[in-house]
Structures are given as structure tokens and as C-alpha cells.
Structure 1
């Protein structure tokens, strides 16, 4: 469903309206953003109680959620880009919330500068789309591209520039800002890692899948970036000593899973994992925040232990989140990761000599990538 609210900008023959677009993908994203965001807001009331910046914190937090909703509901690329830059600004404000500590200000500036690289690439892609099609409406561009850009180099170049989404989603080689983003309050970490900023890149590629499917080479690059990121980030998490940095590298790895799925054409599986990851990662961060507060802001995992008896509820929440993160059977992470790996294995098998296929009943799986 598309709703044109009012004319926004008109220049050089290009008219951009303030339009909203709502479909299945937007519904999932809105549900994740508002659902997880509500839980984090409730958690933040107790976590930030007594902080002198209490009102300022919630102002930033609501602005963050609002910018993300604009991003996922925008019916044209200009409105999407407004939300895209909005979440970048809010991440800067929230990561550096305790700005009197120099390291917090450094982490905020680092996140802002590193993500700008991907933002520049996205801006260049929008300029090309305006020049080629004379419109910024997302659905119109996808339809026109599928008609006019079949076997065209423009499809490859635009898809490559849209891959600047790796900046917001902290994928190789622009992943360095996310571990340092732990300088902000723990509710901020939960919101950034679960429901807002890092999922923006995944959403952008899923929303513009019609453009990416016109360039198999870029699709392979997306899958490669995701595979390398998920492996390297998981290895990095093994050697961290800060509890929140362990979870940060875990997030980078899980977003890598989503990019891997997108590159294999498993768009539905990627969004499914985005949804499940949002809930169990928010749970892990909020449980970690409870532990950190109880230990008087101690974050070194080497100094933690024996917390099951004094904090049974937090221990249970953390165990549930870890089980889903590890994709143990009957957890949400198991089903979403299983869908990604099945799709990837099916695509790989289809490419083997002799055209080997899954035996029944697996052959009835999704055929998005062309393998059945």
C-alpha cells in the first residue's frame, strides 16, 4: 500500500512527494522496531533512573526510533535517505551520551565518520538513479530497472554503490565502529544492535532486491562479504574480555549471516533471522546490563562468576538468549539460521557438476535463487 501525503520538493523537473509505502517487509520491520523499542524503553526507565541526562536520553532514544521508522516506511529514496542519515545522527548522540569521558566522544566520532563512507556511496547511487529514471520512487525504479537494465553495466554499478549498506550494518571492511559503540549506555547498545541501525543495511538490500538480482556478480560479493564477516567476527568474539564487546562482535557475525542469505537470494530467510535476532540480542544486552549494574559497572568477564544464586532471573534470561544465539534446537535462532543454511546449501548444490539437487522432501524448499 502506497500513500502520498503531500508534495515535498520540486526542482529541475523532479518532484518528490512525502510518501509512505507499507508492505510485508515494512510490516516486519515496523513490528521489530516498535516492539523491541518498547521493551528497551521500559527497561531504560529503571536503568537510567537518577542519571542527570534522563530527559535528554529519552529525547535521543525516541528520535532514533522515529528516524528508523521513516527509513523503513519511506516510499521514495529521498525519504529513505533522510531516515538513513537520521539514525546516523542519533547513533552519534547516543554513543557519546556520556560525553564528559573522552573515550566516549572518540567512539561517537568514529561511528559517525566510518558510517559516512557507506552513506556517500548511497548518495552517489541516488544521483545515478535520478539521472537515469527521473524519479526516486523505489517501486517505480525497481520496475524500470528490470525493463531497461537487463545485462546493463548500470545495474552493477548501482548495486555496488548500494552495497555501501555495509557501513550502517558494520560489515567488512567498515565493521570497526560497532565494538567501540559500547561506550554508550547499555539500552543504547541493545537498540542499535537489535532493532535499528545495524539492520538498516539488511533492509536496504532486501527492499532493492530487484536491482541486485540484475547483477549476479554483486550478489556473489554480498554473500562473500557476509560469509567473511560472520566468520571473522565470531573468531574475534572468542578473545574479548569485555562482556558488551563480546555481544558486539556477536552482532557483527549475525548480521553477516543476513548478508550471506541476501547474497544467496534467500531474502525471506534473511528478514526472518533479522526478526529473531532482534529479540534474542536485545534480551542478551538487557540481561548483560543488569549484571553490569549489579557489579557496579564492572564489564570484565574474568571478574564475573557465581551469579546464578543472587541473580536467577537474569541468569535464566541470559541462558535463553545464548541458546537462541547458538541456534540450539527448538529456539528461534535454530529455525532462522536453518533456513539460511538450507538455502545456501541448495544453491551450492545446484552449481555442482551434474546439476545435483536436494533429495525429497528438501527439494520443495524455497526457489528464490533458482535452485530447487
Structure 2
């Protein structure tokens, strides 16, 4: 199960490649990178899932690194796999792959083809972080990533004023929710002294 981090890494690499290409690559190459990175994440999910069931469905935490250490507060980047997170991970990567496959045909010829796949790859990576996060702080970062990608995808056709308004409305509404979620995290840490789920 030490492959768990690849479910985040593959879509993230796809996002970085597509973002730094700045639309200079062909549609075929952009679609291949976009679909391929999510497809590899889905394949990794299947391998991790097989291993999970072969080992008696034991919950597993993969420690990656400590992001920050301040006094008694440790912000660790850990991924946790259990039955629920495996189910959601399968949905995110599996359905995400089919969405990318459909979009490779549907978006063909549209301006910003490569940019679209960059956004959707970042969206998948953020959802995977949200699903596998071991603590509320990392989950919050995944949540913020999903909110950012929602804004970017809703406003994809930014030359149309209506989509710009819809994107801004979604952005503002999710930011209001984010503020209350952040307050909730502060209260939980103040009361419990930890933000980990276990």
C-alpha cells in the first residue's frame, strides 16, 4: 500500500505538465497527458484496493512528511486508507478517468483545450487529497483546491460575462463556507488539541 501517494502524484504531475505547456502542445498530446495521469491514478487505486482486501481490510496510514512543527502543533502530510476512503477514491479516480475520456472528444477544437485538462487534473488531485487526508488541516487544503478548481472550471469560457458571474458567485459562496470551516478547525484544535481523525 505504499503506492497510495501516487494517486495524488499522477494527476498533480499531469496538471503541472499541462499548465507549463501553456497550450503549445497538440490536442492529442494534451488529452493523452490528461487522461493518462488520471488513468494511472485509477490503476493505482485498483492495485491499492486489491492489496487492501488481500490484507484483511486493515486501515492504513502512509506518512509522507511533516509540513510544519510549531510548539505542540504538528502538521503532518499523511494519507489514510480505509473502506470508506477506498470507495470514494475509486469513484474519484474511476469516474474522473471516464470524464477525461469523454472530455477529450467533447472539448475537441475548443480554445483552451490544454488548460481544461490542466484544471481537471488539479481537480482530481485535490479531491484525492480531500478523500485520503489523515487530518482536518490537510482535508481543508484539499477542500480549498476543489473550490479553486470549481471556480476555474465554471469560468472556463471567461470571455462570456455570464460564466464569469457564475464563477464569481460560486467562488464567493464557497469562501463563506471556508471561513466557517476554518473557525471550526480552530475550535476543534482548541478543545481537543489535535486535528487528526484517529
Query: Is TM (by shorter chain) over 0.5?
Result: yes
- 1:8 pairs with 2:67: yes
Q: Distance in 1 between matches of 2:188 and 2:182?
A: 10
- Determine the structure 1 residue equivalent to 2:181: 122
Structure 2: tracts of 5 or more residues without a match: 1-59
- 1:75 pairs with 2:153: no
Over residues 87-112 of structure 1, what are the superposed CA-to-partner deviations in whole Å (9 max), with x where a residue is unaligned? 00000000000000001100000001
Q: Distance in 2 between matches of 1:37 and 1:21?
A: 20
Higher-Rg member (1/2) = 1
Select which of 172, 189, 196 maps to 1:113. 172
Q: Distance in 2 between matches of 1:72 and 1:50?
A: 33
Query: Which SS does the other structure have where 1:5 is aligned?
Result: strand
Q: Distance in 2 between matches of 1:84 and 1:18?
A: 15
CA drift at 1:138: 1.2
Select which of 27, 31, 38 maps to 2:86. 27
- Determine the structure 2 residue equivalent to 1:138: 197
Query: Which SS does the other structure have where 1:97 is aligned?
Result: coil
Aligned-pair Cα RMSD in Å? 0.9
Question: Number of paired residues?
Answer: 139
- 1:86 pairs with 2:145: yes
Ranges of 4+ aligned residues in structure 1 off by more than 2 Å = none
CA drift at 1:4: 1.4
Over residues 118-153 of structure 1, what are the superposed CA-to-partner deviations in whole Å (9 max), with x where a residue is unaligned? 2111111100111112211112xxxxxxxxxxxxxx
- TM-score normalised to structure 1 length: 0.37
